Amino acid sequence: MTGEIAASLNDTLITDQNTPGGYTLQQHSENATSLSKIAAQNWDFVVLQEQSQMPSFPPAQVEADVYPYAEILCDSIYTNDTCTNPMFFMTWGRENGDQDNCPYYEPLCTYEGMQLRLRESYIQMALDNDASVAPVGMVWRAIREDFPDIDLYSSDESHPSLAGTYLASCVFYTGFFHNSPVGAYIPDGLNETQALHMQEYASNIVFDSLDTWQIDTTHVHAYFIPDMPIGKSLYGYFSNESENAEICFWDFGDGSPVVQSPGQHETVEHVFPEPGWYQVCLTAWKGCENDTYCNSVHTDFFNSKEDVIQVPELIFDAQNQQLKFSSNLTNHRIWIYDSKGTLIGTEKLRGNTLGLSQYKGFIIITVPDANVKTLRVFVQ
């Protein structure tokens, strides 16, 4: 059903499973089929669910009978691929609590008490194993409270009805794709209004507590701004404006070794071997995620001083956050726009530098009355 939801929103979900009824994490940790499926490919996620009652038992019992096997399974997941994300399936409490075990542990006598223990145990498993949580049980609780007419349980008061299955699937879709399921596929036999409530609640509860569920929705975005001095040298200066990057790699397109740099907001200097066009590419990494941005740059080198003087030059000095310009631009006026194209300032060029500290973020600089290329720069 999660796959149907994904397909209806133009996403693709490829799945496999080993889900014998009533299985514990201990049994999975010793099961050849479970372990072989984990090792079958480099999964984005491996979902782990304990037998429905066990995480609700007293903390000492869960610590002895559940946590060690969650760790064993997560270790096998990371051994297969360090970039796979284990996701724990936080299940729901039984409709009227676990009456069989109520005499031995009071919290199990009610749905609310059982749900609280399931929440605590699954969050602890995620914390212990650097994993995430699909908070199905929390969305289930909210729907029970706010829409009691939606019957989430089958007749045994434990397994899900069609509505309960749909609710869980909406939560998993949101956790996998970091996207709201609102507007997704609704299966035949499910009330459309009720389905919309479950879509909205799944989205809201997952996104409202991302830190609690240890779901990271930030994405790395690679971007740089080149600064190529005109006519004076073979140097290039590249301001790294990537977002959420932890480490970056530069390929300057001239056969030189790839250069590693810190994540972002650093200026990298490079000397090109000769004048010409080069395709410069920056790859930014955040954990196992990466993004690449490329831009063509041109470097010039004039042999004669006269040649240099004839070319108006406008350069952004990222290190000092100022504009440098050649003497033949003195007394020209620059126009400064924000990233949306709104005029935010105008300055007359005097001397050979102009401070830009009064502007913040991405700006666009033009000199309408001179043959100078438009500059797009980032002012910190």
Asked whether the beta carbons of 246 and 265 are under 8 A apart, the reply is no
Domains of the chain, with CATH numbers? 2-213 (3.40.50.1110), 224-379 (2.60.40.10)
pLDDT at 301: 63
Average pLDDT, the chain: 91
Task: Give me the pLDDT at residue 341, please.
Answer: 77
The predicted pLDDT at position 232 comes to 59
- From the CB of residue 174, how many other CB atoms can be counted at a distance below 10 Å? 28
Residue 173 and residue 177: Cα distance in Å, rounded?
Answer: 6
Residue 335 has what pLDDT?
A: 86
Check if the beta carbon of residue 119 is closer than 8 Å to that of residue 137. yes
Rounded CA separation 212/21 (Å): 29
Q: Which helix (H) or strand (E) holds 347?
A: strand 343-348
What is the reported pLDDT for 306? 40
Structure confidence at residue 303 (pLDDT): 45
Give per-residue pLDDT as tens, 340-373.
Answer: 778 888 888 887 788 888 888 888 888 877 777 7
Low-confidence ranges of the chain (pLDDT < 70): 230-232, 301-312
Per DSSP, 264 falls in state: S
Strand partners, 269: 237
Strand order in the sheet with 333-338: 343-348, 333-338, 361-366, 375-379
The pLDDT value given to residue 240: 93
List, for residues 176-220, the tens digit of each pLDDT value: 999 999 999 999 999 999 999 999 999 999 999 999 999 999 999
- CA distances in angstroms from 329 to 88, 263, 311, 314, listed in the order given: 63, 35, 10, 8
Q: What are the Cα distances from residue 28, in Å, to 48, 67, 71, 131?
A: 9, 13, 12, 17
CA–CA–CA angle 95, 150, 138 (5° rounding): 60
